[in-house]
Amino acid sequence: MAKLEDSFPNYDPLLALVEIAQDPETDLSMRVDCHKTLASYLTDADSQLDIDGDGESKPLTDGLLLIRYLFGFSGDSLISGAIGDGAERDTAEEVEA
C-alpha cells in the first residue's frame, strides 16, 4: 500500500475498499473481505463518531452534524434539530470544538 500512497498522494485506503466492495467485477471473496474491513473500521471508530456525546453514533444526529460541519455550517444552523437526547455537547461551540 505504501507504493500506492507514494504514487497517489491523495489515495485513501478506505475509499479504495469502498470501490472494491462495490465493483461487481471484483472476486466475491475479496468484496466480502472489504465489507468486513469497512464494518470493523466503523465499529472501532464508533465512539469518535458520537459527535454530540450522547453515547451513540446515529445518522440523523451525529451524521447530520458531521455533514453540516463539513459544509461549513456553524452556530444555530449547525445544531438545529440535530442534537440527540441526553447529549453532552448541545451547543454549537461544544460541537465545533
pLDDT band, very low/low/confident/very high, at 1 (cuts 50, 70, 90): very low
Contact of 51 with 94, CB cutoff 8 Å = no
| b/e 15-30 (16+ beta carbons within 10 angstroms → b) | eebeebbeeeeeeeee
State the average pLDDT over residues 56-67: 90
- % of the chain with per-residue pLDDT over 70: 88
Q: Is the pTM for the entire model greater than 0.75?
A: no
For the chain, the domains span 11-44, 59-96
Closest listed residue to residue 18, CA positions, set 26, 9, 6, 10: 26
* Coil, strand or helix at 73: coil
State the average pLDDT over residues 27-45: 82
96 Rama class: left (phi>0) / alpha (psi -120 to 50) / beta: alpha
Tens of pLDDT, residues 65-88: 989 999 999 999 999 999 988 999
Residue 67 in grid coordinates: 455533514
